[in-house]
Amino acid sequence: MSDTKIYRTDYLFVNTNFIIGAGSVLNLGGNYFEFNRSRTPEEADARAIESDWGVVGNDIRAAIEEYKNIQNK
């Protein structure tokens, strides 16, 4: 399973932590966060949909592996 691509379900969202969130309170300009960028909205949607379905596929793959392990015991 080492060749499995890693997907995320938060593709279109900003990756933050507590410090960044606290600092955003002082941001009056509204441009504090850098979102994942794409050339077009369609490209962003396509990449996000691919990532979402990739997560589903990885979950199914993990469930199949777990089922095989249970059957082999």
d(CA 56, CA 62): 10
Per-residue pLDDT at 69:
93
> Would you say 35 and 13 are in contact if contact means Cβ atoms under 8 Å apart?
yes
CA 36 to the chain's CA centroid: 11
CA distances from 2 to 5, 6, 9, 20 (A): 8, 10, 20, 33
Per-residue pLDDT at 63:
96
Per-residue pLDDT at 68:
94
Tens-digit pLDDT profile for the chain (73 aa)?
A: 456 677 776 666 666 777 767 777 776 556 656 666 788 889 888 888 888 899 899 899 999 999 999 998 7
Per-residue pLDDT at 60:
94
Domain chopping of the chain, boundaries: 18-71
- pTM score of the predicted model: 0.57
Q: What is the DSSP letter of 69?
A: H
